[in-house]
Amino acid sequence: MTEKSAKLTLPSGEELNLAMYSPSEGNDVIDISKLVKSGVFTYDPGFMSTAACESKITYIDGGKGILLYRGYPIDQLADECDFMEVSYLLLNGELPDKAQKAEFVDNINNHTMVHEQLATFFRGFRRDAHPMAIMVGVVGALSAFYHDSLDINNEEHRSRSATRLIAKVPTIAAMCYRYSMGHPFVYPRNEMSYAENFLNMMFSQPSHDDKPDPTLVKAMDRIFTLHADHEQNCSTSTVRLAGSSGANPFACIAAGIASLWGPAHGGANEACLNMLNKIGDVSRIPEFIDRAKDKNDSFRLMGFGHRVYKNFDPRAKVMRESAHEVLAVTGKQNDPILKVAIELERIALEDPYFVERKLYPNVDFYSGIILQAIGIPTNMFTVIFALARTVGWVSQWSEMIAEPTQKIGRPRQLYTGDSERLVTPIEKR
């Protein structure tokens, strides 16, 4: 990082020279870490202008609609690689060669089973429990089974925990669905690819042998790749903050899952499909566009807008291609929902409200259409997002823990509450 500096003159007249660092890509940063010594804090609710860490994993150019995993453009990775190669890349910084990939996949396969006692955790949930509630609980509970690999300062333990999480989340995610349906849990199959294995654990039945459709497997694998990581988004920041206290990785990922659940974040794919189903027909789109623009209405166009992208989300473009492929192979190319989505996108991209605010379709706009076409219920959409994002979360967590200067995250505040005052005894209150 090259050093520049920025001058800041405080009301007290103190002049500060703040170091600046230049990144390999993106915005320069101003180091304000010592500002507290001058008796002031910065103020940035929502971290609109704050770089909370240094990272080498993912880069987003919101203005140009660029997303790079370790420098590789997301559309190239989605076309040229599978999710295991992308997972290896995020964790290790380079794409694997054939031997490295084979070893990585073999290692993941050795950890896809979950402890039989974990299955009893599901019995405590009602069958209609939201699967994200189950995911938060069961993933957090994994730490109860792995005392042997929880020394986070031991690189081997970190790697083993990362492997266990990446390997087990599909198994747990599928168990959430099977439990909600009253179907028996399906064990992982090591001869299958990661995405094929997940769809098999989701939909195979003991009564007959049918393998997942290869087109659906490819679409599922691509969805995993597109959701794998995304810089310091809300849930990744949650994982980093939880991890900064030294909490074990299973608890940190459970915190990330909880954070992802919000409709403004990973819950948007479920909310988006519910919205498209509620719109139901292209004739009703104007009504919903008006509501999205109405400041007195809390309704927002789910799947639109992004904190960073002020251009098309590059993942949405890839997802849109996949949507057409999947709907064709599932015979749903005339699905009215797709018609609503395409017309909604067209109208919104022409409407001055959305154009002025640079609101474009994001990753969640088309993913729900694909997942629904594959046969995945809406309440499982964010579970799939969490499944895919686990590799990004553990990569970012590992990067943070390995950072020599890493310390516990502890933001300050702008306090506007009462100044010190005396307690009046209750008899006199």
Contact residues: ligand SDX, CB under 6 A: 230, 233-234, 264-266, 268, 292, 300-308, 357, 359, 362-364
Residue nearest to ligand SDX (CB): 305
Catalytic residue among 213, 265, 324, 351: 265
What own/partner pairs with CB < 8 Å and gap ≥ 24 does 36-41 have?
36/412, 38/10, 38/12, 38/14, 39/12, 40/10, 41/412, 41/413, 41/414
Q: Closer CB to ligand SDX, residue 112 or residue 390?
A: 390
Residue with tokens 């686990």: 390
Q: Closer CB to ligand SDX, residue 203 or residue 261?
A: 261
Q: Closer CB to ligand SDX, residue 188 or residue 243?
A: 243
Active site residue 183: no
Q: What's the closest the beta carbon of residue 383 comes to ligand SDX, in angstroms?
A: 15
Structural tokens at position 333: 């190319």
Q: How far apart are CA 316 and CA 118, in angstroms?
A: 36
Q: What's the closest the beta carbon of residue 30 comes to ligand SDX, in angstroms?
A: 21
Which residues sit opposite 405 in a β-bridge? none
Specify the amino acid at residue 386. Answer: A
Q: Answer whether 55's CB lies under 8 Å from 399's CB.
A: yes
Q: Closer CB to ligand SDX, residue 175 or residue 260?
A: 260
Q: What's the closest the beta carbon of residue 53 comes to ligand SDX, in angstroms?
A: 15
Q: What's the closest the beta carbon of residue 178 comes to ligand SDX, in angstroms?
A: 27
Q: What's the closest the beta carbon of residue 234 comes to ligand SDX, in angstroms?
A: 6
Q: What's the closest the beta carbon of residue 384 comes to ligand SDX, in angstroms?
A: 13
Active site residue 230: no
Q: Closer CB to ligand SDX, residue 130 or residue 230?
A: 230
CA distances from 334 to 40, 120, 286, 331, 341 (A): 59, 42, 21, 8, 12
Q: Closer CB to ligand SDX, residue 23 or residue 262?
A: 262
Q: What's the closest the beta carbon of residue 57 comes to ligand SDX, in angstroms?
A: 13
Q: What's the closest the beta carbon of residue 108 comes to ligand SDX, in angstroms?
A: 22
Q: Say which residues have a Cβ less than 8 Å from residue 336's Cβ, sequence separation at least 6.
A: 280, 281
CB-CB neighbours of 5 under 10 Å? 12
Q: Closer CB to ligand SDX, residue 111 or residue 307?
A: 307
Q: How far apart are CA 82 and CA 77, in angstroms?
A: 8
Active site residue 324: no
Q: What's the closest the beta carbon of residue 119 comes to ligand SDX, in angstroms?
A: 30
Calculate the CA 429 to chain-centre distance. Answer: 49
Dihedral, 78, 79, 82, 85 alpha carbons, nearest 10: -80
Catalytic residue among 130, 227, 230, 306: 306
Q: Closer CB to ligand SDX, residue 14 or residue 287?
A: 287
Q: Closer CB to ligand SDX, residue 199 or residue 302?
A: 302
Write out the catalytic residue numbers.
Answer: 265, 306, 364
